[in-house]
Amino acid sequence: MDRNILHACREDPRRTSTDIQVSVTSLNEPVPSSRTIRRRLQVAGLHGRRPVKKPLVSLKNRKARVEWAKQHLSWGPREWANHIWSDESKFNLFGTDGIQWNRRPIGSRYAPQYQCPTVKHGGGSVMVWGCFSDTSMGPLKRIVGTMDRYVQSPDLNPIENMWEELERRLKGVRASNANQKFAQLEAAWKSIPMTVVQTLLDSMPRRCQAVIDIKGYPTKY
């Protein structure tokens, strides 16, 4: 029964204890309770945690990511300073897109099988486009509709971390409509200091190495 419980969980880490209970039950064996299943999984080192949300990366894109990372691995501050980093992002008006859970061993937060693939855009939100370079924060512009022509590699574009910085600066701040939300986003964007930019650019060699090490899968960045 332990083997069946572990197999069911590892087959799909997002299964609940009730789902596992149904999948391992047979006519000739007693039915384990949901509490027993949770306890057996914890004993095996599989604890319920929020998954890391990372974009789904195809085999083709994984190979392209590794190749790009190898080509730029030896770049120094001068090379990275010659670039402008840009992207678009969605910011919800009211709360988050919801919480999902999965079970994984301690220390496996960024293992590909325990990540939660995401799709970039959705509704009930404000879409913005922004950019920055090593010398300044660029403008933040509101987007009507979607910008989905290009699919980026988020952990190889440090502006994704800038969106997280923007989220942190607006944590707990609510907006009653899209116009108010964009005004909040624009004010917070302008307040981000250049020390944040420099920290992100300094991380580029480590990002490239991480992508190579994990064979193109999403990294902790």
Tens-place pLDDT, residues 104-156: 666 665 666 656 555 444 447 899 999 999 999 999 999 886 555 445 766 78
Retrieve residue 105's tokens. 């061993």
Q: What pLDDT shows up at residue 12?
A: 79
pLDDT of residue 28 exceeding 80, the answer is no
Number of helices and strands in the chain (H, E): 9, 7
The mean pLDDT of the chain is 81
Q: How confident is the model at residue 73 (pLDDT cuts 50, 70, 90)?
A: very high
Specify the amino acid at residue 109. Answer: R
pLDDT of residue 209 exceeding 60, the answer is yes
Total Cβ atoms within 10 A of residue 181: 22
CA gap 107, 36 in Å, rounded: 24
pLDDT of residue 66 exceeding 80, the answer is yes
pLDDT of residue 21 exceeding 90, the answer is no
186, burial (CB in 10 Å: exposed 0-12, middle 13-18, buried 19+): middle
The model's pTM: 0.62
CB-CB contact of 120 with 55 (8 Å): yes
- Residues 6 or more apart whose Cβ sits within 8 Å of residue 114: 13, 51, 52, 102, 104, 108
**Length of the chain counted residue by residue:** 221
Going by DSSP bridges, is the β-strand pair 85-92/137-143 parallel, antiparallel, or unpaired? Answer: unpaired
